Amino acid sequence: MDNSVVINLKEIKKIYDMGGAEEVQALRGVSVEIHKNEYVAIMGPSGSGKSTLMNIIGCLDTPSSGLYEFNGVNVSEMNDNQLAKVRNKEIGFVFQTFNLLARSDALHNVELPLIYAGVTSGERKRLAREALNHVGLGDRVHHKPNELSGGQRQRVAVARALVNRPSILLADEPTGNLDSKTGDEIMILFEELHHQGNTIILVTHEEYIAEHAHRIIRVRDGMVETDERVDKRKTVTTV
């Protein structure tokens, strides 16, 4: 199996200047390498910098310093259009709060990345329906987000994240707003996606969620505390 490095972070720092002498060091030198078809969970206490890290990986945010290579390309050298293209084609992002367009139905929400990718209308509809079928929402295509349950909304979000066949799937606490049963359903979905060859990075607070992953990165105070591989029998080996 192809084992190429998808994400390569070196000494990534993120500093928020709060005005005056005050500043927040959200990330204080994070170095991580993530390979193709890995399933990684990022854990850590609240405020430790998990979301900040995910946003940087997802090209939604830019680091204050450090090197970020995505599929071998230096992200800090990309212009706005190239970043938009990476977000559109290479990265599928699932948010804790779903972040669906409230006034659009499920189908249109899932179609959106395809619109920005320039896919023709007919093809778009077909792919979006396929993605919704894939997450088990084939019978809910014309429901608006407020006509769906939390778990269903998150499935729409997952379908949207996957519809453009990205290189990696990023999920920042995808089950954070769901009860444990619906959370489990989403996790089963992720498991399937991983089996199909997707690379997944997931932020969570819950140990039982993290257990689905094959590698757990623990973050504390903006630094990587531990980075462990978990084998299928749940024995822990240090990388």
Partner 1 sequence: MHFLSEVKEGLIIAFRAIRANKMRSVLTTLGIIIGIVSVTMMATAIEGVDRAFEKSASAFGSKVLYIQKFPWVQHDDWWKYRNRRDMKLEYAVAISQQATLVDAVAPSAVTMKDSRFGSRTMLGTFITGTTHHYQEASGTTIEDGRFFSQEESDGGRPVCIIGANVAETLFPSIDPIDQTIKVGGFPYKVLAVLEKQGGMFGTFTADNRIFVPINSFINQFGSRRGVLISARVAAGADIEEAKEELRGIMRKLRHLTPGQEDDFNINEQEMLTQIFGAITAVIAGIGFFITGLSLFVGGIGIMNIMYVSVTERTKEIGIRKAIGARRRTILMQFLVEAASICLIGGLIGLAIAYPLSLIADQLIPTAMPVSVVAIALFVSLLVGVISGFLPAYKASKLDPVDALRYE
Q: Which residues does residue 8 pair with via DSSP β-bridges, in sequence order?
A: 33, 69
180 vs 135: CA distance, rounded Å? 18
DSSP annotation of 208: H
Nearer to partner 1, 158 or 216 (CB): 158
Pick from 4, 10, 11, 24 the residue near ligand ATP by CB under 6 A.
24
Rounded alpha-carbon distances, angstroms, from residue 222 to 21, 24, 204: 19, 10, 16
Closest distance of CB 153 from partner 1, Å: 13
Is residue 81 packed enough to be buried (19+ CB in 10 Å), middle (13-18) or exposed (0-12)?
Answer: exposed
User: Mask of contacts with partner 1, 113-152, x by CB under 8 A?
Assistant: x-xxxx-xx-------------------------------
How far apart are CB 24 and ligand ATP at their closest, in Å?
4
For the segment 3-42, give every residue that binds partner 1 (CB under 8 A).
none
6, exposed or middle or buried, with CB in 10 Å at 0-12, 13-18, 19+?
buried
The two three-digit tokens of residue 60, written as one number: 């939604």
Q: Does 16 engage in binding with ligand ATP (CB under 6 A)? A: yes
Choose the contact partner of 24 out of Mg ion, partner 1, ligand ATP, none; CB within 5 to 8 A by kind. ligand ATP
Instruction: From 64-72, 109-117, 133-141, 145-153, give the range in contact with partner 1 by CB under 8 A.
Output: 109-117
Out of 112, 162, 201, 202, name the contact with partner 1 by CB under 8 A: 112
What residue type is 235 in one-letter code? T
Structure tokens at 216: 């757990």
String of b and e for 37-53 (b: at least 16 CB within 10 Å)? bbbbbbbbeeebbbbbb
Q: Which stretch binds ligand ATP (CB under 6 A): 50-58, 83-91, 109-117, 122-130?
A: 50-58
Binding of Mg ion by 51 (CB under 5 A): yes
What is the three-class DSSP state of 89? helix
Residues binding Mg ion (CB under 5 A): 51
Residues binding partner 1 (CB under 8 A): 55, 58, 60-61, 80-81, 84-85, 87-89, 93, 95, 99-101, 103-104, 112-113, 115-118, 120-121, 160, 164
Residues binding ligand ATP (CB under 6 A): 16, 24, 26, 44, 46-52
